[in-house]
Amino acid sequence: MIECKNISYSYQDFQLNEIKVLENISFKIEKNEKVLLLGINGSGKSTLLKLLNGLIYAKGGEYLFEGDLVNKSYLKKNSKTFRKSVSLQMQDPSAMLFNPTVYDEIAFGLKHFGFDNIEDRVHHYAKTFSIESILNSATTALSGGQKQKVLLASLLCIEPEVLLLDEPTAHLDPPTTGWLVEFLESLDITAIVSTHNISLGRELAQRAIVIGPNHEIVFDGAIETLLEDMPTLIKAQLVHQHKHAHDKVEHKHYHLHSWN
Ligand SMILES: Nc1ncnc2c1ncn2[C@@H]1O[C@H](COP(=O)(O)OP(=O)(O)O)[C@@H](O)[C@H]1O
Ligand SMILES: [Mg+2]
């Protein structure tokens, strides 16, 4: 369903130097697969998700969606179908909420893509995300977790085939994170979920793609295998080293990042 072939991407700094943020990225993702995209801050996760959402284009290599090369001319012709198929939840939910009320926010995509029974659909998704009581609230007056739920409801109600989630649990409390993980698991949808929180992995997906600090893929495979692979975890900086003093003997060992 999704294929990246040798993708590279760079941003320009103020001196117009190209700063590489993705290098040699290649992978295939099948329909209904759930994949965790891991990497430390700045490794390029958000950039890759924007690329997969057609918001930016690869500077090298190719991105194929269902066999079609996604580039400017493809999106010019297929913008509406592609936008309905591939949904991205950006890292900052506030940046994506632009309607006056929660109801309007969820209804917006439904109207845009010509769905019928809009009111029923809005209520159905509001119920799924337990946000019925805030349907008439202003989107600007919500907590981080509520914004996240409204955003997910507004993305899922248009029934996309691919859901790209950029650090979706950053604003969620532990019970809501648990609920989201189970909910995503139950959906027949292709999902790519970025996080630097490796402890989310086991529940959310079987497969992990890890981008290293060098912006290249350092691991693509089963999460269980990754968790046993300390050299790769160290290389990707997904573990950190602690110093401990036990009976005056200081020793160091590695820990998984599992806070947030
Ligand atoms: N719009 C931008 N302009 C310039 N540099 C950017 C821009 N967006 C991201 N970057 C840089 O690209 C690198 C990768 O960023 P990002 O994809 O956001 O990583 P991650 O999501 O893994 O934290 C970072 O060094 C970041 O500062
Ligand atoms: Mg990011």
Q: Which of 29-33, 96-100, 171-175 has the lowest mean pLDDT?
A: 171-175
The three-state (H, E, C) secondary structure of the chain, written as one string: CEEEEEEEEEEECCCCCEEEEEEEEEEEECCCCEEEEECCCCCCHHHHHHHHCCCCCCCEEEEEECCEECCHHHHHHHHHHHHHHEEEECCCHHHHCCCCEHHHHHHHHHHHCCCCCHHHHHHHHHHHCCCHHHCCCEHHHCCHHHHHHHHHHHHHCCCCCEEEEECCCCCCCHHHHHHHHHHHHHCCCEEEEEECCHHHHHHHCCEEEEECCCCCEEEEEEHHHHHHCHHHHHHCCCEEEEEEEECCEEEEEEEECCCC
**Is the pLDDT reported for residue 31 higher than 90?**
yes
Pairing between β-strand 217-222 and β-strand 162-166 as defined by DSSP bridges: unpaired
Nearest-ligand number for the alpha carbon of 42: 1
For a ligand 1 pocket test, name from 10, 11, 91, 238 the mutation site with the most ligand atoms within 8 angstroms of its C-beta: 11
Distance 52 CA to ligand 1 centre (A): 15
**Is the pLDDT reported for residue 39 higher than 70?**
yes
Residue minimizing CA distance to atom 8 of ligand 1:
47
Nearest-ligand number for the alpha carbon of 51: 1
What pLDDT does 81 receive?
94
Residues 176-190 have a mean pLDDT of: 86
What lines the ligand 1 site, CB under 6 Å?
A: 11, 21, 39, 41-47
Residue type (1 letter), 243: K
Strand partners, 65: 2, 68
Cβ atoms of 179 and 187 within 8 Å: the answer is no
Q: Which of 47-61, 195-209, 225-239 has the lowest mean pLDDT?
A: 195-209
Q: Which of 18-22, 199-203, 226-230 has the lowest mean pLDDT?
A: 199-203
Domains and CATH numbers, the chain: 2-92+161-256 (3.40.50.300)
Distance 53 CA to ligand 2 centre (A): 14
List C-alpha distances in Å: 201 to 30, 99, 152, 204, 257. 18, 33, 19, 5, 12
Nearest-ligand number for the alpha carbon of 21: 1
Residues 106-117 have a mean pLDDT of: 94
Q: How confident is the model at residue 172 (pLDDT cuts 50, 70, 90)?
A: confident
What pLDDT does 184 receive?
86
Strand partners, 20: 10
Tell me the per-residue pLDDT of 187-207, one tens digit each, with 9 for 90 and over.
899 999 998 777 777 777 889
What pLDDT does 260 receive?
41
What pLDDT does 91 receive?
86
Q: pTM to 2 decimals?
A: 0.91
**Is the pLDDT reported for residue 259 higher than 60?**
no
What pLDDT does 249 receive?
66
For a ligand 1 pocket test, name from 14, 18, 19, 47 the mutation site with the most ligand atoms within 8 angstroms of its C-beta: 47
Task: Tell me how far apart the alpha carbons of residues 234 and 228 are, in angstroms, rounded to a whole number.
Answer: 11
**Is the pLDDT reported for residue 160 higher than 90?**
yes
Ligand 1 atom closest to Cα of residue 196: 22
Residues 6+ apart with CB under 8 A from 197: 169, 257, 258, 259, 260
